[in-house]
Chains A and B, each alone.
Chain A
Amino acid sequence: KNQVEQSPQSLIILEGKNCTLQCNYTVSPFSNLRWYKQDTGRGPVSLTIMTFSENTKSNGRYTATLDADTKQSSLHITASQLSDSASYICVVTGGGSQGNLIFGKGTKLSVKP
């Protein structure tokens, strides 16, 4: 069964600290993996998108990694800010012409002053 599992479910860190969010998937075939940031009550906003051949992709203080062999991805946030408080969603696209998106349940990050 195609699944995307994210951990931890929630995380609290102090402003200025780094953190890493995890995403494990069992989707096959694999097309790409995306990380989205969703503020409370808003729509998700794309942070990164990686294909099979990409290992790392950065977007400012956000760095995503992908290990296609172990089917794992991580999102590392450097020098966290209060505005980083949000849910982070991992999404894996299956292959094929009708490739479907499998959404993780998200990790809720709270950055405290």
Chain B
Amino acid sequence: DGGITQSPKYLFRKEGQNVTLSCEQNLNHDAMYWYRQDPGQGLRLIYYSQIVNDFQKGDIAEGYSVSREKKESFPLTVTSAQKNPTAFYLCASSKGAHSYEQYFGPGTRLTVT
């Protein structure tokens, strides 16, 4: 899991509530990423950020929002607009852009009922 922490490990929410997942890294990496993992599927990119105060949508950004106010932190908010929020969420960071090796956090399992 390197120097990336995600909290909490498990998160339960009621439908209609927004929830924020935490991701912190102490690797001094410029780039950070959020992925979603569902059973039987490959990881899918939600958002990524290559520099502070800038971020880009990934393949499945609808219903999610992010911020990058500090180099070390990249929180993800799952909004009530996300139709199927229950999933395993992984945060990653890399020294530079996508071609650099990505280091993953331990993940947060979100369950919405």
Contacts and interface: CB of A to CB of B under 8 A. Distances in A.
A10 B44 CA distance: 21
B109 A31 contact: no
B42 A49 contact: no
A98 interface: yes
With most chain A CB atoms within 10 A of its CB, the pick from B41, B42, B109 is: B42
A102 B104 CA distance: 16
Contacts of B106: 42-43
A26 to B, nearest CB: 14
A44 B92 CA distance: 10
Contacts, number: 53
Given A42-B1, A42-B107, A106-B42, A34 B101 contact: yes
A21 to B, nearest CB: 15
A46 interface: yes
Interface residues of B, number: 23
Contacts of B78: none
A99 interface: yes
Given A43-B90, A106-B42, A101 B104 contact: no
B45 interface: yes
A44 B14 CA distance: 28
A104 B109 CA distance: 20
Interface in B30-47: 40-45
B99 interface: yes
A103 B107 contact: no
A43 B98 contact: no
Given A43-B104, A44-B104, A46-B103, A97 B97 contact: yes
A104 B90 CA distance: 16
26 contacts: A34-B101, A36-B104, A41-B109, A42-B1, A42-B107, A43-B1, A43-B6, A43-B90, A43-B92, A43-B104, A43-B105, A43-B106, A44-B43, A44-B90, A49-B101, A89-B43, A93-B99, A97-B97, A99-B97, A99-B98, A99-B99, A101-B98, A101-B102, A103-B42, A104-B42, A106-B42
